[in-house]
C-alpha cells in the first residue's frame, strides 16, 4: 500500500492534481466526510461558502467563464444536489465547463428512500455532458479524471459526479492520472474546407463574420481580429460572443439579434456570405429562420456537429475548433478588393441608429434611465473591467452600452436566461480575477432571487461592485406586456424592501440615487470603495430596451420605440 487515504481525501487530491484552486460549496450530512478531510487539508485549495447551492454552481460558472478553467462546486445529497439543477442546465446551454460533486446516501441505502436520497443521476441526465454515481472509494480517481476531461473537451459543459457516503469514508490506495484532451489538428478534409472557405471569402462582395461564444471558449480572439483585418470584412457578435473582439476594433460593427444593433442585423439580410463561427443560430439571433439571410451563402464553423444545419441551411459545414479554423485561414489568401459600398452601408445605418436611440434611451427628462447608468459607468470606469449581468432589461442595456477591451470580460446567462445568475456569477468571476474590477448589473427582480449571496461577500471580503437598477418591475416581462398584451401588467409590479438597509445588514456600503445629477458622483463613490459596494439606481418605471425584434418575426422587422417605428 503506497498512499492509503480515505475517499474524502482522494477527492481533494484529485482536485489538486487537476490544478483546481477554488471550489464553491455548501456542507451537509451526506458530504460531511469530504468536508472533514477538507478541514484537515493543509494544501492551497480555497473553499467559498455560498448561502445556497444554486449560487455554488452559478459561481463556478462565473469562475469558469472568466478564467477559461473548469469550475467546481460541491453539494450534499438530496436537496443539496437538486438545488444545483438550474445552474447545471444553465451551464449546459452556455457550454460552460463545470464539475459538480454531490453526495449520495450509503451504498446499501440506495433505492430504500433513505433520508435525503434523490436520484440525481436520472434527474441530471438530460442536462449534463456525462454523469456517474461512485459507490466505492476505488472509483473516485478514475471517475474524476474522466469528469474533468469531458467537462473541458470539445464543446465544454457540466459534468456531475455523485459519491456515496461510504465511498468517502472507505480507504483506497490512491493514484491519480490526469486525462489530457487531444489538441485539435488540421486534417486533410479540414484543409480542403479551409481552401474553399478562403475562396468564398475572397470572391464575396458583402461578407459578414458573426462570432459567438465558441470563439472565446477556443481562445480564438486574436485570430478573429486578424482574420477580419486581413479579409477586410465586418465582424458582429452574438450576445454571448461579446468581448471576443475589442469594442474599438476597426472592423467590429456590433451585436446581432433581438436587441442587437441595426447595422449587423441589416447587413445579415443584405450579405452574400455569412461566416458563423462558434455560434448556434439561436432563435434570438435568427428571428424567423425561413427569412434569415436570404441572399447569403452560409459557412458554419462549430465544434459540435449537431449544431450545424440544425436551424439554418448551410453551404459549407465545418465541424471544428474555432481557433484552429481561424488560424488556418490566416495561412491562406483571404484578401479582397476594398468593399467600399458595403462599409458605407454599415456606417450609414450605425449613424442613423445612434441619433434615433440617443433621443429615445439616453434622454434624461423622464428621470434616471438604465441606459444612462450603464453608459456613464462605461465612460467613467473604462473598458478594463469584467461585466457580469443578471437576466432581463438590465442584461440588454449592459450589453448595448458596455464597451470591452479584454477577452472574457462579459458574463451572463444566455440560452437558459436564468434570473438570479448575476450576483453569484460575479462572485465567481472575482475569485478567478482578484485584481480586476468586477461590476454586476442587476434588476430588482433577479437580485432578490439570490440576494442571500451578499452573505458570501460579507464572509469572504470579496470586492464586487453591484449596480442595482431598481424600477420596481419585472422589467422585460413588463415591456412585453406593454407592447404585445395591451398593458395588462399581470403580476409584474414588485413591492421591494429597502435595499439600503439590506446592504447595511450585510456590512456592505451603499448609495441610492434617483437622478442623473448625482449619478457620476455615486459611481465614483462606488469605485473608490475598497470592498463590495451596492449602488442602487432608482430608474424610471416604464423604460424599454430598443432596438427590438419581436419574437418569431423576421430580423428585418426592427423597431426603435413603443410606436413600432422602424429605422
Q: Which residues are catalytic?
A: 53, 115-116, 165, 476
CA distance 390 to 417: 9
Q: Residue 92 has which C-alpha cell?
A: 449546459
Which string of DSSP letters, residue by residue, matches 474-522? -HHHHHHHHHHSTT---S-B-----HHHHHHHTT--EEEE-SGGGHHHH
Phi, psi angle pair for 378, to nearest 5°: -60, -40
Contact 209, 334 (CB under 8 A): no
* Cα Rg of the chain, angstroms: 24
Among 85, 94, 23, 49, which residue's Cα sits nearest to residue 411?
Answer: 94
CA distance 57 to 445: 20
CA distance 376 to 467: 12
Beta bridge partners of 301: 277, 318
* Phi-psi sector, 52: left (phi>0), alpha (psi -120 to 50), beta: beta
Residue 78, Cα to own-chain centre: how many angstroms? 27
Q: Residue 20 has which C-alpha cell?
A: 483546481
Contact 63, 428 (CB under 8 A): yes
Which string of DSSP letters, residue by residue, matches 146-163? HHHHHHHSSS--EEEEEE
Q: Residue 141 has which C-alpha cell?
A: 480517481
The β-bridge relationship of strands 171-173 and 4-6 is antiparallel
The β-bridge relationship of strands 158-164 and 171-173 is unpaired
CA distance 387 to 422: 10
The residue length of the chain stands at: 567
Beta bridge partners of 236: 210, 254
CA distance 430 to 59: 9
CA distance 548 to 258: 5
Residue where the block lists cell 475589442: 246
Q: Output DSSP code: residue 405.
A: S
Q: Sheet containing 297-302: give its strands across.
A: 252-255, 235-237, 207-211, 273-277, 297-302, 316-319
CA distance 200 to 389: 37
Contact 250, 268 (CB under 8 A): no
Element (H, E) at 534: strand 533-538
Cβ neighbors of 70 (< 8 A, separation 6 or more) are 18, 20, 64, 97, 98, 99, 148, 151, 152
Which ranges of 232-274 would DSSP assign to H, the alpha helix?
262-270
Number of continuous H segments (helices) and E segments (strands) in the chain: 23, 20
Amino acid at each position: 500500500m503506497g498512499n492509503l487515504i480515505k475517499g474524502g481525501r482522494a477527492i481533494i487530491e484529485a482536485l489538486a492534481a487537476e490544478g483546481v484552486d477554488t471550489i464553491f460549496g455548501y456542507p451537509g450530512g451526506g458530504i460531511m466526510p469530504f468536508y472533514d478531510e477538507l478541514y484537515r487539508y493543509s494544501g492551497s485549495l480555497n473553499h467559498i461558502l455560498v448561502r445556497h447551492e444554486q449560487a455554488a454552481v452559478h459561481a463556478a460558472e462565473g469562475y469558469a467563464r472568466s478564467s477559461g478553467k473548469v469550475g467546481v462546486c460541491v453539494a450534499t445529497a438530496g436537496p443539496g444536489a437538486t438545488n444545483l439543477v438550474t445552474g447545471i442546465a444553465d451551464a449546459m446551454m452556455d457550454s460552460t465547463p463545470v464539475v459538480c460533486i454531490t453526495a449520495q446516501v450509503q451504498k446499501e441505502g440506495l433505492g430504500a428512500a433513505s433520508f435525503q436520497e434523490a436520484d440525481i443521476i436520472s434527474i441530471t441526465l438530460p442536462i449534463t455532458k456525462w454523469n456517474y454515481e461512485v459507490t466505492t472509494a476505488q472509483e473516485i480517481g478514475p471517475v474524476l479524471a474522466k469528469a474533468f476531461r469531458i467537462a473541458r473537451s470539445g464543446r465544454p459543459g457540466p459534468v456531475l459526479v455523485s459519491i456515496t457516503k461510504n465511498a468517502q469514508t472507505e480507504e483506497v490506495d490512491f493514484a491519480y492520472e490526469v486525462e489530457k484532451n487531444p489538441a485539435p489538428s488540421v486534417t486533410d478534409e479540414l484543409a480542403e474546407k479551409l481552401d474553399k472557405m478562403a475562396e468564398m471569402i475572397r470572391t464575396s462582395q458583402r461578407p459578414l463574420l458573426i462570432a459567438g461564444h465558441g470563439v472565446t471558449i477556443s481562445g480564438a480572439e486574436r485570430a478573429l481580429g486578424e482574420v477580419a483585418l486581413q479579409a477586410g470584412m465586418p465582424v458582429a457578435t452574438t450576445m454571448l460572443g461579446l468581448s471576443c473582439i475589442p469594442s474599438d476594433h476597426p472592423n467590429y460593427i456590433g451585436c446581432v439579434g433581438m436587441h442587437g444593433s441595426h447595422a449587423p442585423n441589416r447587413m445579415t439580410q443584405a450579405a452574400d456570405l455569412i461566416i458563423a463561427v462558434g455560434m448556434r443560430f439561436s432563435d434570438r439571433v435568427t428571428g424567423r429562420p425561413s427569412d434569415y439571410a436570404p441572399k447569403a451563402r452560409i459557412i458554419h464553423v462549430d465544434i459540435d456537429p449537431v449544431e450545424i444545419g440544425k436551424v439554418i441551411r448551410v453551404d459549407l459545414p465545418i465541424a471544428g475548433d474555432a481557433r484552429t479554423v481561424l488560424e488556418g485561414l490566416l495561412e491562406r489568401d483571404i484578401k479582397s478588393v476594398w468593399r467600399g459600398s458595403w462599409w458605407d452601408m454599415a456606417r450609414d445605418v450605425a449613424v442613423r441608429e445612434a441619433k434615433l436611440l440617443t433621443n429615445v434611451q439616453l434622454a434624461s427628462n423622464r428621470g434616471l434611465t438604465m441606459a444612462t447608468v450603464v453608459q456613464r459607468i462605461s465612460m467613467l470606469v473604462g473598458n478594463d473591467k469584467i461585466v457580469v449581468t443578471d437576466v432581463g432589461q438590465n442584461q440588454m442595456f449592459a450589453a448595448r452600452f458596455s464597451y470591452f477591451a479584454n477577452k472574457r470580460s462579459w458574463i451572463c446567462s444566455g440560452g437558459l436566461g436564468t434570473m438570479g445568475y448575476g450576483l453569484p456569477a460575479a462572485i465567481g468571476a472575482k475569485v478567478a480575477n482578484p485584481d480586476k474590477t468586477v461590476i454586476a448589473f442587476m434588476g430588482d427582480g433577479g437580485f432578490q432571487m439570490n440576494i442571500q449571496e451578499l452573505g458570501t461577500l460579507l464572509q469572504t471580503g470579496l470586492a464586487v461592485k453591484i449596480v442595482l437598477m431598481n424600477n420596481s418591475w419585472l422589467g422585460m416581462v413588463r415591456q412585453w406586456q406593454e407592447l404585445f398584451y395591451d398593458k395588462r401588467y399581470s403580476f409584474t409590479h414588485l413591492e421591494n424592501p429597502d435595499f439600503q438597509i439590506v446592504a447595511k445588514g450585510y456590512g456592505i456600503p451603499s448609495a441610492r440615487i434617483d437622478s442623473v445629477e448625482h449619478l457620476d458622483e455615486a459611481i465614483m463613490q462606488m469605485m473608490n470603495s475598497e470592498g463590495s459596494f451596492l449602488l442602487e439606481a432608482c430608474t424610471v418605471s416604464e423604460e424599454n430596451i430598443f432596438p427590438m425584434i419581436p419574437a418569431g418575426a423576421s430580423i428585418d422587422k426592427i423597431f426603435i420605440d413603443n410606436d413600432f417605428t422602424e429605422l
